[in-house]
Structure 1
C-alpha cells in the first residue's frame, strides 16, 4: 500500500512539470540528484524505496503520459536508445513528495528534445494514446513500452518522387470566409492539403489546455495518423495548413505560448498557428496578417530552386508558427524549378517580440515526397533529419535579404549527396557552394570550411542550383 501511494504521488508530481522549449536546436538534459532533509514535525516514516522510472526534460521531471504522447507524435526521443542514464539508491520518506524534496531509488531516463512547442496528453479530452494512471501506477511501470510509434518507412521509397500535386493553390486571392465547418479541410482558398500526416490535410492541430493573459500553455497537439478525415480540428483548436511553394501562411493568434524561464538564464515559448475553430466553425485567427490564407513572400527579392539533377528533390518547410515540425513538402522535379517563400521580417510572424526567418530542410535526391517531410524519424536522413538547412529572410530595416546554407548538425551527420550553389543574377561579389562536404565562397570558391556559408543581397533573384558536382 505504501508503495502504491508513492507511485501515485510521484506520477501526480511529475505531471505538474512543464516541458522545456527549444527552437531549431537540441537541449541535452543534465540529471541532478536532489537531496531532502526531513523535519521532525512531518511525522516521516522511512521504508525501502521502490524502483520507479522518472523522465527528465530540461531539468524537470515529466509524466509518462507526456513521454508516450511525445514519442507518438514525434516531439520527444529517448537518449541512449531508452537505456537508463543513472540509478540513485536511497530510502524514501513516506510523505507526499514535491519536485524539490523527492529522492528515492530512481531509474532516470534523459529525454533528448528537439522541438518548439508543448505537446502533452490531455486526459479530459481523451485523445488517442492518452491514458491515466491506474491505482497501482501501472503507467509508470510500463513506461518503456514505447516501440509502437507511428512513423513512415525508414528506408527510401523506390518510386520516383513527383513534384508537389497542387503548386498553384486554387483560390489564392480569395478572401477566406468565416463559418466553414472545422471538420473539413478548406479547399478553394489557396491552402494545400497535406495528406501524408494523416490529419485530413492539416499540417498540425494544437489545442491549448491553459489559456490566460500570459499566453497559451500545456498545448495538446493531435498525433499524426489519428484523424485522416480531419475531424480532430475541433472547437478551440488552432488548425495549421500549408500554402503553395512561394507562399506564406497568414493566420495565427495574437496571443502565443507562455514564456518559460529556465535555470540557465534562457527563456522559451511555443508558437501557435493556423485557423481558429470557433464553436465548430473556422475563422482567421485574431493575429492574421491578411484576409487570405496565403500571401507571397517579400517582393524585394526572389528565391528560386533550380534542379539540374536527374532525380527529384523534396524540400521540407517548417510548420511555423505552429507545431514547428518539418512537415510541409515542396518537390522540384528533375530539370524543373520552383520558388521558395522569403518572409519580410518587418511584417511576418514575430516570436517573443523578435523577427523570424523561414527554415527549409533539403533531403537527399530521390526521396519520395510522401516519405520526405516528417518530424523525428531518427537515422532516416529525412525531414528534420535531412542533411542540409536553408534559412531565408528579408530585413527591410537594412534593405537586404539574408540566405544561410548550413549542415544540419548536430541532428545528423549525414552529408547531402549532391551539390548546392547559391547564384545571384547579377554582379554581387557574393556566392556560395556546397560540394562533397565542403562549403566555399569567394570569386573562385577559394574560401572553404566544413559547416556553412551565408549570402546577403539587396535585390534580384537568388538561384539555389542543385547539381551533381
Structure 2
C-alpha cells in the first residue's frame, strides 16, 4: 500500500525566549502533501517527536496543534482534547523592565512595562579593521517585464498582474532558491465566516494559485506592506498578495499601494568579519518561517527594517516587532534563510535572534534562540549608537548589559532611533 507522509507540526503553547519578553514565532503550519493514504509524522521545531510525547504535551498544555487542527483519532483521551493553554503573541513588542535583564522568566503572559535607564551608554570604538565598511543602498534594479514598472516607488496595479508572474518590477525580491516561483511563502487558506479556518503551507514546486496568499521578500531595510485583515482562527498569521480570479490583488491598500515600504528608524547591521553573514527575518505575517534574507558581506553595512508599532501588523490587537535569525559566519543566505532540519545550526536552528521594534521608542534586542537551541554563535555582536539607554552585547557566548551578564539575552532602547548591530 502506498503511503504519504504528512508532517504535523506542533508549537509551544507559551514560552518566553528571554527575560526581555520577546517571543519566538511558534505558529508553524502543516505542509501540503499529495493525495494518497496518509501516515502522520509529528515534528517540533523541525525535529521528529513521537506520538506519546505529542499527546503528553497536548494534555499538559505545553504543546499545541499548528493551525489548531488535530489529526483524527490521535490522542483519543479526554485529557488530550482539552483546550491547550493560549499561546503568547508570536512577535510581541520587545519589553524590558529595570530588573529583567539578569533573570529568566517562564511565564507565558508577561506583564512588565517598558522602562529605560536614565543613563546614556557610550559604546566602545568599533573593533579595528583596515578595510573600510561600505553602505549599500536598498534600491534594487527592476527586472525586465511588460509592466513598465520602475521598482519600489511604483504603486502596484491591483488585479492586473497574472498570479503566475512574480512582481519583481514593483520592488519585491525573488527567492528562486525556495522553489516557489520567487515567493517567500505561499499559504492555501480556507475561510469560515470572518476567519481563516485552515492554512496549508506550500512546499517546493508549488505555485501561487487561485485563492492562495502569496508572500514576498523586500530589499534590505524594506518590508512587505500587504496582509489581509482576516487572520487565522487560532492565532496563525496570513500575509502577502492574494491570487483571485487569476490576478494578484492587494490585501492592505489602506497602508500602502506600494508592496514594499521602508522600516522605521535607522537600524543597521555592520559586518567587521572577514566572511559574509546571513540574517534571516521571519516572514510575518505569513508562514512565519525565516525566509526573508539580509546578506551582509565582509566589511559591509546593511539596513534592517523595523516595523512601526502603530501602523504595521497587529496580532490580537498588539503591535509586533521584527525577528531575525543570525547564522554562523560564512553561511550564504540561500542556505540559511529557509526551514532547516536541525542537522546544522542555521535557519530556524541558528544560535542567535535579534529583534527590532518601535513602540514609545525604538527597541533592539539580542537573545538566544531558545528553546530551539543552546548553540553558541562563532562571533560576537554588540549594539552601538550615540543615544542608547544602556548596553547590550553578545560576547563569547554570554549576553552583557549594564547590570552584568546572563545566558538569555539583553535589550536596549535607541532613544533617537539610530543604532547598529556590529558583528566582530
Give me the TM-score of the superposition, normalised by structure 1.
Answer: 0.63
- Measured after TM superposition, the shift of residue 456 of structure 1 is 0.8
2:286 corresponds to: 322
- Measured after TM superposition, the shift of residue 370 of structure 1 is 1.4
In 2 relative to 1, CA 215–439 (structure 1 residues): closer, same or farther, beyond 3 Å? same
**2:48 pairs with one of 72, 75, 78:** 78
- 1:464 paired with 2:413, answer no
1:182 corresponds to: 163
Within a 5 Å distance, the mapping from 1:40-189 to structure 2 comes to 65=38, 67=40, 77-79=47-49, 82=50, 102=76, 167-169=138-140, 170=142, 171-178=151-158, 179-189=160-170
Deviations 1:9-33 (CA, angstroms, capped at 9, x unpaired): xxxxxx9x99767672669xxxxxx
Greater CA radius of gyration, 1 or 2?
Answer: 1
1:366 corresponds to: 330
CA distance in 2, matches of 1:407, 1:346: 27
Structure with more contact order per residue of length (Cα contacts < 8 Å, sep ≥ 6): 2
- 1:282 paired with 2:248, answer yes
User: Does the 8 Å contact 2:383/2:391 carry over to 1?
Assistant: yes
- Measured after TM superposition, the shift of residue 167 of structure 1 is 4.7
CA distance in 2, matches of 1:102, 1:340: 46
- 1:233 paired with 2:208, answer yes
In 2 relative to 1, CA 286–376 (structure 1 residues): closer, same or farther, beyond 3 Å? same
- 1:256 paired with 2:228, answer no
CA distance in 2, matches of 1:330, 1:420: 16
**1:455 pairs with one of 391, 412, 419:** 412
Specify every segment of 5 or more residues in structure 1 that has no aligned partner in the other structure, as ranges. 1-14, 28-56, 58-62, 89-97, 104-112, 117-162, 260-268
Deviations 1:420-457 (CA, angstroms, capped at 9, x unpaired): 01011x24451211111111123xxx721122111012
- 1:379 paired with 2:343, answer yes
In 2 relative to 1, CA 454–290 (structure 1 residues): closer, same or farther, beyond 3 Å? same
In 2 relative to 1, CA 282–25 (structure 1 residues): closer, same or farther, beyond 3 Å? closer
2:237 corresponds to: 271
User: Does the 8 Å contact 1:24/1:114 carry over to 2?
Assistant: no
Specify every segment of 5 or more residues in structure 2 that has no aligned partner in the other structure, as ranges. 1-5, 14-22, 31-35, 57-71, 78-86, 91-133, 143-150
1:434 corresponds to: 394
- Measured after TM superposition, the shift of residue 177 of structure 1 is 0.3
- Measured after TM superposition, the shift of residue 99 of structure 1 is 5.8
In 2 relative to 1, CA 287–213 (structure 1 residues): closer, same or farther, beyond 3 Å? farther
* SS in structure 1 of the partner of residue 348 of structure 2: helix
* SS in structure 1 of the partner of residue 176 of structure 2: coil
1:246 corresponds to: 221
In 2 relative to 1, CA 102–382 (structure 1 residues): closer, same or farther, beyond 3 Å? closer
